Structure 1
């Protein structure tokens, strides 16, 4: 269980405060307008954004005293943060060992992760030899090998064409199911939530305004959600 209890931070002209209780092993989609606070929430969970008040725990462990590296979290951003001087293989492998000293089993794990994201024959290439979408897939593969129980996705597949985007989302869903990983995914595309999410949180004006199954995207008459979806009224 990921417990988010009055988790708050503030900026000079803005304050956010979130409440949610997310079951372990589920995929939750965070949707809402730009600037609503979705990425801020991920940043607080990952430890990158200071928390002013509230509680945050995962699987009974208080996360707030822990630094980003100590938390059971992998975060995958739009900016996939690849090392430009390292090959695809080494960029994935660094998720297992920062010094790239890998056992044979770990090397096999890296190769399998590269293959799973469709880069099995590109492991010797440098990032500059890849398209933007391929670079994002390297970032996903690195997240896969880290094996942390909580995966935060901040629009990592935005550069992919629709077919590949769906393929990568399916890979995330398969991984979450196989390894019991809890996924929290920011998306500006409601279709992403309908494809793989067990639960949807609609974030509006710095708070979670609505939550439920993906059906709420069709069935809720919440005015903020209707504005976000571009509907003047419910269908």
Structure 2
């Protein structure tokens, strides 16, 4: 079965339920989790990614494309993540940042071609040697997304990735990200407190807690 399946995923802290989710996310679909700060939205993503803090306990299953990910380390889950901050490496060029997402064994001309293709897709031709500090917020967001996609994830999690952008850039980058999700057929979960993000995503909207 293709897609992401959260089978009775439950996160507790000190015996109290913080998150409880049962849902299936189809390829190319974006499910939105909404709620105020502190309602467990980011905790839900950490449980899916396998990065829960020690204070939390998780039960249930995370199944991706038929693979049970329960107990697997984050790197083995093939789940990409976009955060509020773009988290570009300041000591690497734009090309260096993109190359970080590529498979380790891909080298030489093939590596350069993949990076050039990603830059073209993001509308950033000629930016390979640029310092990330010289990029605008929208350009940085596009580089961050393309780096994530170059790692060839099988699913994508988005933790308030548009919240630091102004209104114009928010709509522009949101459209860019959602288009790429649909084109690549990735099941995706978007965490946000913005109703317009949820409307643009077009999928089911649910709270993170019971």
- TM above 0.5, yes or no, is yes
Specify which of 14, 17, 20 is matched with residue 19 of structure 2.
17
Instruction: For residue 2 of structure 1, report the CA deviation from its aligned partner.
Output: 2.1
Aligned residues: 204
Distance 1:161 1:121 in 2: 25
Pick from 82, 103, 123 the counterpart of residue 118 of structure 1.
123
4+ long deviations beyond 4 Å? none
Contact 2:82 2:145 in 1 (8 A): yes
Q: How far 1:12 moved relative to its partner?
A: 4.2
**Matched residue SS, 2:87:** coil
Distance 1:111 1:20 in 2: 40
CA RMSD of aligned residues (A): 2.2
CA distance, structure 2, for counterparts of residue 22 and residue 84 of structure 1: 37
Task: With the length of structure 1 as denominator, give the TM-score of the two structures.
Answer: 0.77
After superposing the two structures, state which structure 1 stretch, 42-51 or 30-39, moved more. Answer: 42-51
- Could you tell me which of 75, 97, 100 is aligned with 1:94? 100
Is the Cα–Cα contact under 8 Å of residues 78 and 154 in structure 1 kept in the other structure?
yes
Give the alignment of 1:69-148 within 5 angstroms. 69-97=75-103, 102-148=107-153
Deviation at 1:90, TM superposition (A): 0.9
SS of residue matched to 2:21: strand
TM-superposed CA distance for 1:92, in Å, is: 0.9
Q: Which runs of 5+ in 1 are unaligned?
A: 208-235
Structure 1 residue 137, shift from structure 2 partner: 2.3
Q: Measured at CA, do residues 7 and 161 of structure 1 come closer, stay the same or move farther in structure 2, by a change above 3 Å? A: same
Separation in structure 2 between the aligned mates of residue 52 and residue 159 of structure 1, nearest angstrom: 30
TM normalised by structure 2 equals 0.86
Alignment of 1:188-203 (within 5 A): 188-203=193-208
Deviations 1:163-189 (A, max 9, x none): 322222222222222221111111121
1: CA distance, partners of 2:98 / 2:120: 11
1:152-191 matches, within 5 Å, as: 152-191=157-196
Q: 1:93: Cα distance to partner?
A: 1.2
Match of 1:47 among 50, 56, 61: 50
- SS of equivalent to 1:144: helix
CA contact (8 A) 1:6 1:17 kept: no
Structure label with greater radius of gyration? 1
Give the structure 1 partner of residue 40 of structure 2.
37
Q: 1:60 aligns to what?
A: 66
